[in-house]
Chains A and B, each alone.
Chain A
Amino acid sequence: MGTIIAIGAGIAVLTGVGAGIGIGIATGKATDAIARQPEAEGKISKTLILGCALAEATAIYGFIIGLLIILLLK
């Protein structure tokens, strides 16, 4: 039983893959944009932080689900 719970939690945390890819792409594009237009840096980084927070949320949901699986399915 314990092993299955651990596997389930591990699968839930796989949501981190999406967040990683998303934040990676967003940061890459932001770097591009800043390199092209350094004067717009303030606006770009504001949007980047917002986008990263939104993308990161999926990873956080996965983490919460994993934690709940471990804590509740004892």
Chain B
Amino acid sequence: MKRKGGSDTESLTEKLLEELNCDTVFTIPVFGGIGVAESVVVTWIIMAVLVGLSIIFVRNLKVENPGKKQLVLESTIGWAKDFFEGIIGKENKRYIPYLITIILYLGVSNIISLFGFKPPTKDLNVTAALAIMSMFLIEYSGIHKNGVKHWVKHFAEPVPVVAPIMVLEIVIRPLSLCMRLFGNVLGAFVIMELLKAIIPVLVPIPFSFYFDIFDGLLQAYVFVFLTALFMNEEQE
């Protein structure tokens, strides 16, 4: 095949940059205009779908003669509960609904590119917000379990020399959570876009299975798993 020269790569770069941008969909006309990014709108759609499904699924639940739907629901939720209980222990049951919510949101948002939306986790702000929420939860769980005194003291353990590193860890843990999720989703997205731009027919299908479905779900799992693990660590 003859090489077509620079203009082709140029247009490819343009297209890629366009895909990477997070567009502002519309602006709320207060305080000089608040831009609403695309990731926010896609998040609203995901929220609507998840809330709608939750409402539909919990209707007509019965104690006796449960239907098929209820059995599936109960076994799924039971499995998730057992799974998280295995990580963070029985005494931390109160955090499980939060973790399940996050894994549902991340799972849906990572595979939403299959339906033609841009995944919201491709926006650094979304993953940063999630990571900051995780950070507060991690520290809160430590304080709740052992009290403020122990929380302050644990920075100087086992030797006081490591205190700066321990303090830095508060920030580093969410930073690495945020960057890992963002980088993985962005990387998968870029590779898929490049593939689609070069060979649009048939070839992207197997890659899509890996990058869109497997990698997305794995990263959702890893994010929640690490949050739970850090919480566990913080409570010691």
Contact = CB atoms under 8 A, between A and B. Distances in A.
Interface residues of A, number: 11
A60 B186 CA distance: 10
A57 B176 contact: yes
A16 B225 CA distance: 23
Contacts, number: 35
A49 B187 contact: no
Contacts of B225: 50
Interface stretch (A4-12, A31-39, A61-69): A61-69
B180 interface: yes
A67 B13 CA distance: 12
Contacts of A21: none
A63 B218 CA distance: 19
A53 B221 CA distance: 10
Contacts of B222: 49-50, 53
A73 interface: no
Interface string B176-200: 1001101110110010000000000
A63 B183 contact: yes
A64 B180 CA distance: 10
Nearest to B180: A57
A60 B179 contact: yes
Contacts of A57: 176, 179-180, 183
B49 interface: no
Contact of A64 (B179, B219, B221): B179
B179 A53 contact: no
B12 interface: no
A71 interface: yes
Contacts of B218: 49, 53
A49 B219 CA distance: 10
B58 interface: no
A64 B17 contact: no
Interface string A23-59: 0000000000000000000000000011001001100
A71 B17 CA distance: 8
A50 B229 CA distance: 10
A53 B183 CA distance: 12
Nearest to B124: A64
A17 B155 CA distance: 34
A12 to B, nearest CB: 12
Contacts of B190: 67
Shortest beta-carbon contacts, A-B, top 7: A60-B183, A53-B222, A57-B180, A64-B183, A63-B187, A60-B184, A63-B183
Interface of B: 17, 20, 176, 179-180, 182-184, 186-187, 190, 218-219, 221-222, 225-226, 229
20 contacts: A49-B218, A49-B222, A50-B222, A50-B226, A53-B180, A53-B218, A53-B222, A53-B226, A56-B180, A57-B180, A60-B179, A60-B180, A61-B179, A63-B183, A63-B187, A64-B179, A64-B182, A64-B183, A64-B186, A67-B186
